[in-house]
Structure 1
Amino acid sequence: MFLKGNRRYLLSILAIIIFIISGCTEKKTSVEKMYDILEGVVAKEKAFEEQQDPLVNLEIEEKELYDQIIDLGIKEYDQIVKLSDEAILLTEKRKNHMEKETESLNESEKEFKKATKIKDEFEDPELTKTANELYDIMMQRYQAHEWLYKEYSDALKYDKELYEMFKNKNLPLENLEAQVNKLNGQYKQVSDANEKFNMLTEQYNDKKLSFYKKAGLKSSK
């Protein structure tokens, strides 16, 4: 009798455990899944955000070196070489930050693409519509950053070429002017790409808040 009673006791405990586990592993709703993905994207882009201030500071520092080089005469050639080498190192640091920024966006895109199927699973048609608009904007944003990365990478390459030219005593002035003009045109491309990326980022954030509001969710950011 003791063994049977003990067995019933164990079976009861097992039933309770199974009940608790089944409750804990209850399937998430589509809204909850979407929320996890969108908040996951925020986490993935933390490294992206961390690159912004260092990148801007390096650009400012490099501009200061450029201005110093321009102000120096040919008699101060050794100083020009020194400053040019310092500027080249800064372009390499800028590239490193840009690579980290892009890597973060790539991770963000992988996370965000998990929403491809979920965005069409909502019972509320308005929620589905907002989710699809959110998805389209974000995918355009990733494409805009690819464009920005390409243009910025080209600008860095032209920057290094310019500083190497500064180190050449016999470089014709017209060659230097042509390189500066090429750089100015390239940074116009960078500015346009950056403007589009920022615009789409703002649109995404607005649409995300709209989705959260309709879904009754709170954003961590």
Structure 2
Amino acid sequence: MSFIKNSSFIFFILVLAVIFAGCTKEKTPEEKMYTVLEKVVTAEKVFEEQQNPLFELEKKEKAIYDHIIELGMKEYDQIVKLSDEALLLVDQRKELMDKETNSIKLSEKEFSKAKKIKDKFEDPSLTKLANEMYETMMKRYEAHEELFTEYNEALKNDKALYEMFKNKNLPLDDLEAQVNKLNETYKRISNANEKFNMLTEQYNDKKLSFYKQAGLNSSN
């Protein structure tokens, strides 16, 4: 092989090395965090999609419950029919809540990657924002776990209530006790949901502040 050809070959390899190095350039911590946060948004799409259908099922079930209360036991056959309809709605609510929770768990799995990034920024203000955002989001996941637990308890109590309605000889005291139990559960759900929504709002505010400070644009 001649010296000229050998030199050309070496030059070609060097050019490829430079191009390859440019293509595999390490992402900045800001870019890595951006990727994580946007994947979290994608992971929670299913969660978002369950909100309206779940609300509609709850409204339908509430209407059935009100109808049953209005009828009284003199319309026993109708009460049984309505109770069976309500039980189907409870099962559907359970399916949607499970989908919602699986979406949040996937979100948490994606967001956990932020733990290794949040302290890597050169700008101290970005590090502060990233840590605040991380702590808020972790509290949000805890709040949803609490909400999920209480909601599942409510679904079990709802099913028990509609089964009670189908018992023609049910003592009124037992029915009242179950209704009171349900009311207490739904109070806890309301509180847990309020906490979750508050933390969601706080997280979104901190995320937007982080994006602004880092010079990033959210696609969502």
Task: Tell me whether 116-125 or 6-15 shows the greater mean CA deviation.
Answer: 6-15
Whole-angstrom CA distance in 1 between matches of 2:59 and 2:3: 80
Q: How many matched pairs?
A: 220
Q: CA deviation at 1:79?
A: 1.2
| AA at the equivalent of 2:61 | E
Equivalent in the alignment of 2:148 = 149
Equivalent in the alignment of 2:73 = 74
* 1:201 equivalent in alignment to 2:210: no
* 1:102 equivalent in alignment to 2:114: no
Stretches of structure 1 lacking an aligned partner (at least 5 in a row): none
In structure 2, the residue corresponding to 1:153 is in which secondary structure? helix
| AA at the equivalent of 1:46 | K
TM-score, normalised to structure 1's length? 0.94
Task: Tell me whether 111-120 or 164-173 shows the greater mean CA deviation.
Answer: 111-120
| AA at the equivalent of 2:175 | L
* 1:58 equivalent in alignment to 2:54: no
Equivalent in the alignment of 1:133 = 132
In structure 2, the residue corresponding to 1:28 is in which secondary structure? coil
| AA at the equivalent of 2:45 | K
| AA at the equivalent of 1:123 | E
Residue by residue over 1:59-108, the C-alpha shift from the partner in whole angstroms, topping out at 9 and shown as x without a partner, is 00111111111121323211111110110111111011111111111111
Residue by residue over 1:120-168, the C-alpha shift from the partner in whole angstroms, topping out at 9 and shown as x without a partner, is 0111111101110000000000000000000000000000000000000
Q: CA deviation at 1:190?
A: 0.3
Q: CA deviation at 1:117?
A: 1.8
Equivalent in the alignment of 1:48 = 47
| AA at the equivalent of 2:75 | E
Whole-angstrom CA distance in 1 between matches of 2:145 and 2:56: 22
Whole-angstrom CA distance in 1 between matches of 2:167 and 2:62: 20
Q: CA deviation at 1:10?
A: 5.5
Map 1:115-134 onto structure 2 (within 5 A). Answer: 115-134=114-133
Task: Tell me whether 108-117 or 64-73 shows the greater mean CA deviation.
Answer: 64-73
In structure 1, the residue corresponding to 2:168 is in which secondary structure? coil
Residue by residue over 1:181-218, the C-alpha shift from the partner in whole angstroms, topping out at 9 and shown as x without a partner, is 11111100000000000000000000000111111111
The RMSD of aligned alpha carbons is 1.6
| AA at the equivalent of 1:113 | S
| AA at the equivalent of 1:116 | K
**Percent identity over paired residues:** 65
Whole-angstrom CA distance in 1 between matches of 2:20 and 2:39: 25
* 1:160 equivalent in alignment to 2:155: no
Whole-angstrom CA distance in 2 between matches of 1:47 and 1:40: 13
Whole-angstrom CA distance in 1 between matches of 2:18 and 2:101: 45
Whole-angstrom CA distance in 2 between matches of 1:106 and 1:216: 29
Task: Tell me whether 106-115 or 3-12 shows the greater mean CA deviation.
Answer: 3-12
In structure 1, the residue corresponding to 2:22 is in which secondary structure? helix
TM-score, normalised to structure 2's length? 0.95
